[in-house]
Structure 1
Amino acid sequence: MIRLLICDDHAVVRSGLSMLLNGKYQIEVVGEASEGDEAIALAVQVKPHVVLMDLSMPHGKDGLTASAELKKLMPDVQILILTMHDDEQYLFQAIKAGASGYILKNAPHEELVGAIQAVAAGEAYLYPSATKKLMSQFMNQHSHTPADDEIFNQLSEREREVLGWLAKGYANKEIAQHLFISVKTVEAHKSNLMEKLGLKTRPELIKFALQKGLLHFEDE
């Protein structure tokens, strides 16, 4: 079961999410908080796998500050931002604060469940337009070097395929199904990629894959 802590300043939202998720989809709601400090204190007590965190909580500590503090205190907890703000500045700040995912409140409940499951499994989750915004930001801020080309040329064809799928946000199991290989093989390729490229985070991986032309998105 995925142990989930919900943090939102609206009691109706917390209650609705709890009714929607608790005891379903292998999710157990282990606590509810109305602001950031309460969420941090409660997380220490109930030890959730995932914290579903609202950004704007005017009557207490905001979600960004709480996320950053919680990640320092409990590095293994995964934070999924649930917000009404479809704004790239909030997105970038959430990632910097240590969030593993970012989803809008108007998303279908199936998408929310998938996002919770993804971050609980150690994957990152961004809704499609957020992914495009993130990659656009990296395009504008970063350029590759000849050393990048040399490293990229050392990757095998399979490693390049796995890199592309990872950068698009697919989970290891989904990549394994697409490429007809085992999950363990995907994990091995991922580990080798991170070591060869000297990368530590998914945003860095997205940046590198984008520079190498490995990401292609259909127009919505």
Structure 2
Amino acid sequence: MGDDVRVVIVDDHSIFRSGLRSDLDASIVVVAEAADVAAAVEAIAETQPDVVLLDVHLPSGEAAASVPDASGGEAVIRGAAPLSPGTRFLALSVSDAAEDVVRVIRAGARGYITKGSSGIEVSRAAHAVAGGDAVFSPRLAGFVLDAFGAAVGETATTNDELDRLSTREQEVMRLIARGYAYKEVAAELFISMKTVESHVSAVLRKLQLSSRYELTAWASARRLL
């Protein structure tokens, strides 16, 4: 899977933490574990991990009291992100409630996967998130599409919108919207990652979108996937 990825596992169930730790790929180095918000923020600030594997439903407790109605997962992100700016957050969830997952994504998580995922799937997701990509669990992806799709303005017809993009930009747009990592897009189209990044920036600018989440929602709503 490439270079090692340093992670912190945050979950209030010790059995889940130990099980996940044992199932992760050898390239995933667990530098700390935490069972609550305060311990998680402290561990992240101290270890500066690449990725935090974060329980969406971590109990908020007293440490999250300054963030009304926030879940523990949200509180960890808001508390730790300023202290470890290079760290990315990957949410883990067993919930099928849209608002739970969408809120933690809006708080700053780079993606989410279900707790039913295998160790190799979590490991791959951690590598993708560490590399700057977003990761969507197929079981829950519709929640994000619906949530961010509602914010995407219908300002032109599909053809008019696509006409703003070059042929190559349309190719990149479809692959990114389908969840491809930048490296995978580069390999698929035989171009460099830097070129992929340039195309993605151009696509978002021309379509007046702010993230790949919105791009996925935009493409899904127009049946371009």
Q: What's the TM-score, normalizing by structure 1?
A: 0.85
Do the aligned partners of 2:60 and 2:75 also contact (CA within 8 Å) in 1? no
Report the equivalent of 1:124.
Answer: 134
Shift in alpha-carbon separation, 1:210–1:75, aligned structure 2, 3 A: farther
Whether 1:33 and 2:34 are equivalent positions in the alignment is yes
Aligned CA RMSD, in angstroms, stands at 2.3
Paired residue type of 1:213: R
Report the equivalent of 1:113.
Answer: 123
Report the equivalent of 2:69.
Answer: none
For 1:32-74, what per-residue CA distance to the aligned partner results, in whole angstroms no more than 9, with x for missing partners?
Answer: 1111111111111110010011122337451122123323443
Whether 1:6 and 2:1 are equivalent positions in the alignment is no
Structure 2 spans left out of the alignment, 5+ residues? 65-71
**Helix, strand or coil for the counterpart of 2:141?**
helix
Note the 1:43-122 alignment, pairs <5 A: 43-58=44-59, 60=61, 61=64, 62-122=72-132
Do the aligned partners of 1:35 and 1:63 also contact (CA within 8 Å) in 2? no
Shift in alpha-carbon separation, 1:108–1:150, aligned structure 2, 3 A: same
Structure 1 spans left out of the alignment, 5+ residues? 216-220
Of all paired residues, the percent bearing the same amino acid is: 37
Paired residue total: 213
The alpha carbon displacement at 1:211 in A equals: 4.0
Paired residue type of 1:66: V
Shift in alpha-carbon separation, 1:71–1:149, aligned structure 2, 3 A: farther
Q: What's the TM-score, normalizing by structure 2?
A: 0.84
Do the aligned partners of 1:80 and 1:101 also contact (CA within 8 Å) in 2? yes
The alpha carbon displacement at 1:178 in A equals: 2.4
Whether 1:181 and 2:191 are equivalent positions in the alignment is yes
Cα distance in structure 1, aligned partners of 2:223 and 2:167 = 14
For 1:53-97, what per-residue CA distance to the aligned partner results, in whole angstroms no more than 9, with x for missing partners?
Answer: 112233745112212332344343110111221221111111111
Do the aligned partners of 2:145 and 2:220 also contact (CA within 8 Å) in 1? yes
